[in-house]
Chains A and B, each alone.
Chain A
Amino acid sequence: MVGKPLVSIVSAGLSKFGRLDGMYCREIFAEAVKEAFEKCPNLDPVKDIEALFVGHMGEAYEHQGHTGPTLADWAGMLPKPAVRIESACASSGIALRTGILAILSGLHKIVIVGGVEKMTHRTTAEVTEFLAMASDLPFEQWHGITFPGLYALMATAHMHEYGTTEEQMAQVAVKNHHNGTLNPKAHMQKEITVEKAMASKVVAWPLKLYDCSLITDGASCLILTHPDLAKKFTDSPVHIIGSGQASDTIGLYEREKLTTLRAARLAGQEAYKMAGLEPKDLDVAEIHDCFTIAEIIAYEDLGLCSSGKGGSLVEEGTTELGGNIPINPSGGLKSKGHPVGATGTAQAYEIYLQLTEQAEERQVKGAEIGLSHNVGGSGATAGVHIYRRE
């Protein structure tokens, strides 16, 4: 039996993703919130919204911490309680889960969950260093292992164990770049080819430039309500029917295997169980393709295929728009962009559009059930959510 709604999404907002010169987190977040308010005329934000939970990874980028109340202020939401959630690249996926907990606790009935990051004003070397803070200091950062380096270690292991190829990884990039051209808010708006991806500059072998997600500015948010209130605000709410979260060791080297993320597997299992659904029931999913190998591993961790078959899944076209299970119709982190703190709720934003038939050229026809999969760091945090349309 399909699980009952935990909470409902009644509106959502997404800033433009890309290089937003001269804007910082507070202004970018306000842009996302503005869209969510405008799309929901029956909501009186000042009266109805009770609290904010916002994902934000790094104070290093702007030399600005304490972002909960700052973002609430610029969104016109003072003096409501506002909390910044930090779970690396899963910050807003976990902010979403925190919002669900707040509503299920009975303390709040209507909340904003969202996230933001401003990155492009920093050099690539600085961003590389800041992102590495989400990995283990004493045994990874201290020895020069970068964030792409950690996923490269997973890629080498996956290639060695299962015969996954660099071409298959490039195919993930080609697919997601294509989807990005159909999303006006995506950072990248250009098609690429396998040849071009394969010939791009090496970042951390075997990962090349086109295997890596983008350094992007952006913000996202959702307005969540108790399911009983949803119809007051919209005729077409999207219900969250499954939520899973798990943790693993901060160091990649301590994990049982390098070719799977245990936290993502467990979070997925919890979400499927709560939703009363199986992988075959999904119509569309947004998954955490911070690197192309991450999407391949996620296919396996979420049960879309068996272990080691992720490379073949993309090769066969199963995960393209028009395929059996379209993955990352938004363009994903790869092409839509990865403002780390904004990513989790940006994935939820895309699923919300898909399940309310608002995804225009990239609409997955008749999509009823969606999933989002958000990973922090090299997999020490994972959050998975399952959604169904009204």
Chain B
Amino acid sequence: MSEKPPPFTVSSFYKFVSEKKLMAAKCDKCGTILLPPKPMCTKCLSTNLEWIELEGVGKLLSYTIIYVAPVQFQSLAPYIVGIVELKSGLRLPGMIRGVEQEEIRVGMDLKIDFDTSVSSQWPAWPRYFFRPL
């Protein structure tokens, strides 16, 4: 029979990001899609889950331009971050690259992209980000 799926953890999510995939957990019982993945369906508490790949395309729901950044992001400031509503209705926050500050608009179309370089420091995850379609 089929192999056991990777555990429904944030670390698995980022392992998929390193493979340039946007993956979520889907509840086999009630159909809820969990992004981020969680080991138990937060709607019906079922643990019968499967991984599904999401289409990384959506619209910008809200954004901000960060000027005062935490220590490890200071070299990037000012940078744009936003919350994107994917086609599936699920939402994901992230950095938005390739858009001028004057051009950023609520509702604009964005797609996910992946930066698979991994820092040596914990938690050593890669990053995804968004850019114009």
Bound together: yes
Shortest C-beta distance, B113 to chain A (Å), equals: 13
Chain A 363-376, CB within 8 Å of chain B: the 1/0 string?
00000000000000
Contacting residues, chain A, for B13 (C-beta < 8 A): 138
Shortest C-beta distance, A247 to chain B (Å), equals: 12
Interface positions of A (Cβ within 8 A of B): 124-126, 128-129, 132, 137-146, 148-149, 152-157, 160, 201-207, 251-254, 258
Shortest C-beta distance, B121 to chain A (Å), equals: 11
Cβ-defined contact, B64 with A149, below 8 A: yes
Q: State in angstroms the CA–CA spacing of A113 and B26 once bound together.
A: 44
Shortest C-beta distance, B102 to chain A (Å), equals: 12
Cβ-defined contact, B91 with A254, below 8 A: yes
Q: State in angstroms the CA–CA spacing of A146 and B72 once bound together.
A: 12
CB closest chain-A residue, reference B63: A156
Q: B1 in the interface, Cβ–Cβ < 8 Å?
A: no
CB closest chain-A residue, reference B73: A144
CB closest chain-B residue, reference A208: B67
Q: State in angstroms the CA–CA spacing of A253 and B13 once bound together.
A: 17
Name the 4 nearest CB pairs between A and B, nearest first.
A152-B64, A205-B65, A129-B70, A144-B73
Q: B68 in the interface, Cβ–Cβ < 8 Å?
A: yes
Please list 11 pairs of residues, one from A and one from B, whose beta carbons are closer than 8 Å in the complex, sorted by A's number.
Answer: A128-B68, A138-B13, A138-B14, A142-B127, A144-B70, A145-B81, A153-B82, A157-B61, A202-B67, A204-B68, A207-B64
Q: B125 in the interface, Cβ–Cβ < 8 Å?
A: yes
Most A C-beta atoms less than 10 A away, residue of B10, B81, B95, B127? B81
CB closest chain-B residue, reference A249: B42
CB closest chain-A residue, reference B35: A254
Q: A139-B36, A160-B106 are in contact. Are A146 and B93 (CB under 8 A)?
A: no
Q: State in angstroms the CA–CA spacing of A124 and B70 once bound together.
A: 9
Shortest C-beta distance, B34 to chain A (Å), equals: 10
Cβ-defined contact, A144 with B79, below 8 A: yes
Cβ-defined contact, A129 with B95, below 8 A: no
Contacting residues, chain A, for B78 (C-beta < 8 A): 202
Cβ-defined contact, B125 with A144, below 8 A: no
Q: B118 in the interface, Cβ–Cβ < 8 Å?
A: no
Contacting residues, chain A, for B69 (C-beta < 8 A): 125, 128, 144, 146
Cβ-defined contact, A144 with B81, below 8 A: yes
Most B C-beta atoms less than 10 A away, residue of A138, A141, A144? A144
Contacting residues, chain B, for A258 (C-beta < 8 A): 61-62, 83
Q: State in angstroms the CA–CA spacing of A143 and B70 once bound together.
A: 11
CB closest chain-A residue, reference B11: A138
10 extra A-B contacts, CB within 8 A, seeds A143-B94, A144-B70, A251-B93: A124-B68, A125-B68, A142-B127, A143-B95, A144-B95, A149-B81, A153-B62, A153-B81, A202-B78, A254-B91
Contacting residues, chain A, for B74 (C-beta < 8 A): 125
Contacting residues, chain B, for A251 (C-beta < 8 A): 36, 93
Q: B76 in the interface, Cβ–Cβ < 8 Å?
A: yes
Contacting residues, chain B, for A141 (C-beta < 8 A): 70
Contacting residues, chain B, for A143 (C-beta < 8 A): 81, 93-95, 127, 129
Shortest C-beta distance, A280 to chain B (Å), equals: 32
Q: B133 in the interface, Cβ–Cβ < 8 Å?
A: no
Contacting residues, chain B, for A129 (C-beta < 8 A): 70-72
Cβ-defined contact, A153 with B66, below 8 A: no
Contacting residues, chain B, for A203 (C-beta < 8 A): 67-68
Q: B40 in the interface, Cβ–Cβ < 8 Å?
A: no
Chain B 119-133, CB within 8 Å of chain A: the 1/0 string?
000010101010000
Contacting residues, chain B, for A124 (C-beta < 8 A): 68
Chain B 91-126, CB within 8 Å of chain A: the 1/0 string?
111110000000000100000000000000001010
Q: State in angstroms the CA–CA spacing of A126 and B74 once bound together.
A: 11
Q: A146-B70, A204-B67 are in contact. Are A138 and B62 (CB under 8 A)?
A: no
Q: A139-B36, A142-B127 are in contact. Are A252 and B83 (CB under 8 A)?
A: yes
Q: State in angstroms the CA–CA spacing of A168 and B62 once bound together.
A: 19
CB closest chain-B residue, reference A131: B70
Contacting residues, chain A, for B93 (C-beta < 8 A): 139-140, 143, 145, 153, 251-253
Contacting residues, chain A, for B129 (C-beta < 8 A): 143
Q: A145-B66, A146-B70, A153-B64 are in contact. Are A139 and B79 (CB under 8 A)?
A: no
